[in-house]
Amino acid sequence: MEALADGSGGSAEAQACLVPRSLYIHVPVCASKCAYCDFFSLPAASWSESRMAGLVDATISRLAGLISRFGCDGFDTVYIGGGTPTALPAALFDRLLSGVAALAASPGEWTVEANPESLDEGAIATMLARGVSRVSLGVQSLDPARLAILGRPHSAESATRALALAAGSGMRVSADLIAGIPWPRGAGGAAEGPSLAEQVSLLLDLGIAHLSVYDLVLEDDTALARAVEAGELEVPQEDDLAEERDGAEAVLSARGFRRYEVSNYAPAGLECAHNLVYWKMGSYIGSGPGAVSTLQATGPSPWGRAAWPSSLRIEEAQEIDGYAKGGAVESPIGTKESAYETIMMSFRTVFGLDKTAFRRRFGIEARSLIGRTLEAWAGQLIETRDSLSLDPGGLDLLNRFLVDCLIELDGTFPAPGQS
Ligand code: SF4
């Protein structure tokens, strides 16, 4: 990604930031609310079609505004997520995709998230017609009992049917699974239903090219958290969860899928290019209620911190009917926060932290900021001439490593002008 250098287009902001070549669209609509979910999404049945149409049009119009403001000239990656984009009525799903295609012609990778209950032949045909190249399917589990605990609106059979449909379309298919799903207290969940490793094996047989395995996070004020608090369900012990994940990882590794990010697996070259932009601290724009844009400055910040480069974060209002009126919150991100974000995002992947890029951006070596932590974690670090990354055992302990980095960074980060 490059900054505009010739002053030919866009505002001063556009000329001073890495021009975004990635785009995210948030569609806050789902078939129903899952028991563990705290994302911004509303059940489709609570919407009138005209309300949804208004939101689709407002999302496209906001996207056009962001493209113009930041001087975007084409996109390498597009990601339409949510929510469940395929839960839109068919005509509106096509309206959204054709609006995006008109503004973001022929991206190298275009992903659309889908759920099994709404991924049908019609949705696949629309995606192919508009240029979508990748489908990310929320499977979460192939065990009927666990799907019921998660409150998912689909069955294991409909998930495998949707996966086969997507894989047969020629688009690349990614699937999501959840590890560590709580189980009725005392019912011996580990022995019930297909194991995570067996589920992974089934998904691989169906032709997926990418897999995300997320550990379940109990979010406050969700139905699942309340069931655990009430003692109806129990979360697996850490050792059981580690065993579950290790079993799944062994299957993946035997089939050529490497763990390239804490929760993500793919054969080399089939990683999710869009998510890599987040992890490598690229610029991206986001449209739709709750979406986020991050613009990385390349030089003196146009956002009020002249001495040091920083970033601008734009958080779109979580409004449905008022979304067209704007109301996004814009926050300049200071250099120290940007440096921590860079560390936090980079160490998530096996590609790790790019030492040269870090020095160029922040005017200081990463080792000068987190040297003590790097020493303490030396046994789980891989250092090359260009990069620093965690080995597989270190990735399992990522959060502890990041806490150590943050504590150290607090004491070592120089004040502006003192590099
Ligand atoms: S489908 Fe995804 S976004 Fe929608 S309610 Fe379920 S978990 Fe949340």
* Most informative mutation of 26, 30, 217, 224 for ligand 1 (most atoms within 8 A of CB): 30
- For 389, the domain range is 347-419
CA 39–ligand 1 middle distance (angstroms) = 7
CA 33–ligand 1 middle distance (angstroms) = 6
Q: Estimate the crossing angle of helix 196-205 against helix 238-254, to 10 degrees.
A: 20
Q: Is 317 a member of any domain?
A: no
pLDDT in tens, 215-239: 999 999 999 999 999 999 999 999 9
Same domain for 232 and 356, yes or no, is no
The pLDDT of residue 128 is above 70: yes
Query: What is the arrangement of strands in the sheet containing 381-383, beginning at the earlier edge strand?
Result: 353-354, 387-390, 381-383
CA 37–ligand 1 middle distance (angstroms) = 6
**CB atoms near residue 358 (< 10 Å):** 22
SS3 content of the chain, % helix, strand, coil (to 5): 45, 20, 35
Give pTM, 2 decimals: 0.93
Q: Is 408 a member of any domain?
A: yes
- Confidence category of residue 419, pLDDT binned at 50, 70, 90: very low
Number of folded domains in the chain? Answer: 2
Same domain for 211 and 352, yes or no, is no
Q: Is 23 a member of any domain?
A: yes
Q: What is the CATH number of the domain that holds 112?
A: 3.80.30.20
Tell me what pLDDT residue 308 has: 59
Residue nearest to atom 7 of ligand 1 (CA): 37
* Most informative mutation of 32, 37, 117, 181 for ligand 1 (most atoms within 8 A of CB): 37
d(CA 180, CA 191): 13
The pLDDT of residue 188 is above 80: no
Q: Tell me the torsion sign for CA atoms 402, 408, 411, 416.
A: negative
Of the three residues 251, 275, 299, the one that is the final residue of a domain is 275
- Confidence category of residue 7, pLDDT binned at 50, 70, 90: very low
The pLDDT of residue 2 is above 50: no
Contacts of 353 (CB under 8 A, 6+ apart): 342, 343, 346, 347, 366, 387, 388, 389
The pLDDT of residue 9 is above 70: no
- Confidence category of residue 416, pLDDT binned at 50, 70, 90: low
Q: Is 385 a member of any domain?
A: yes
Q: Tell me which residues have their CB closer than 6 angstroms to ligand 1.
A: 30, 33-34, 37, 39, 41, 82-84, 115, 138
Q: Is 66 a member of any domain?
A: yes
Same domain for 198 and 66, yes or no, is yes
The pairing of beta strand 42-43 with beta strand 29-30: parallel
CA 114–ligand 1 middle distance (angstroms) = 10
Same domain for 268 and 359, yes or no, is no
Q: Estimate the crossing angle of helix 335-346 against helix 366-376, to 10 degrees.
A: 40
CA 30–ligand 1 middle distance (angstroms) = 6
- Top pLDDT among 135 and 192 is at 135
Tell me what pLDDT residue 23 has: 98
Same domain for 262 and 359, yes or no, is no
pLDDT in tens, 89-125: 999 999 999 999 999 988 999 999 999 999 999 999 9
Same domain for 400 and 263, yes or no, is no
Tell me what pLDDT residue 415 has: 62
Same domain for 16 and 124, yes or no, is yes
Work out the average pLDDT over 331-335: 87
As a whole-number percent, the residues of the chain with pLDDT over 70 amount to: 92
CA 346–ligand 1 middle distance (angstroms) = 27
Same domain for 65 and 180, yes or no, is yes
Answer yes or no: are the C-beta atoms of 148 and 140 closer than 8 Å. Answer: no
Tell me what pLDDT residue 397 has: 96
Tell me what pLDDT residue 18 has: 86
Residue nearest to atom 6 of ligand 1 (CA): 34
Q: How many helices (H) and strands (E) does the chain have?
A: 15, 19
Tell me what pLDDT residue 109 has: 98
Which residue type is seen at 319?
E
Answer yes or no: are the C-beta atoms of 107 and 52 closer than 8 Å. Answer: no
Q: Is 293 a member of any domain?
A: no
Contacts of 16 (CB under 8 A, 6+ apart): 3, 297, 298, 299, 300, 301, 302
Answer yes or no: are the C-beta atoms of 346 and 320 closer than 8 Å. Answer: no
For 250-279, give one letter per residue: b (16+ CB within 10 A) or e.
ebbeeeebebbbbbbbbeeebbbbbbbbbb
The pLDDT of residue 305 is above 90: no
Q: For residue 83, give the ligand 1 atom closest to its CA.
A: 3
* Most informative mutation of 41, 178, 216, 224 for ligand 1 (most atoms within 8 A of CB): 41
Of the three residues 275, 301, 325, the one that is the final residue of a domain is 275
Answer yes or no: are the C-beta atoms of 1 and 18 closer than 8 Å. Answer: yes
Same domain for 239 and 127, yes or no, is yes
Tell me what pLDDT residue 3 has: 35
Same domain for 28 and 125, yes or no, is yes
Tell me what pLDDT residue 1 has: 34
Of the three residues 243, 275, 307, the one that is the final residue of a domain is 275
Contacts of 124 (CB under 8 A, 6+ apart): 165, 166, 169, 171
106 three-state secondary structure? coil
Same domain for 119 and 261, yes or no, is yes
Answer yes or no: are the C-beta atoms of 335 and 309 closer than 8 Å. Answer: yes
Q: Is 316 a member of any domain?
A: no
* Most informative mutation of 27, 34, 139 for ligand 1 (most atoms within 8 A of CB): 34
Same domain for 268 and 353, yes or no, is no
- Confidence category of residue 10, pLDDT binned at 50, 70, 90: low
The pLDDT of residue 45 is above 90: no
Work out the average pLDDT over 84-89: 96
Query: What is the arrangement of strands in the sheet containing 285-287, beginning at the earlier edge strand?
Result: 258-261, 264-266, 210-215, 172-179, 134-140, 109-114, 77-82, 22-27, 285-287
Q: Is 229 a member of any domain?
A: yes
Mean pLDDT, the chain, rounded, equals: 91
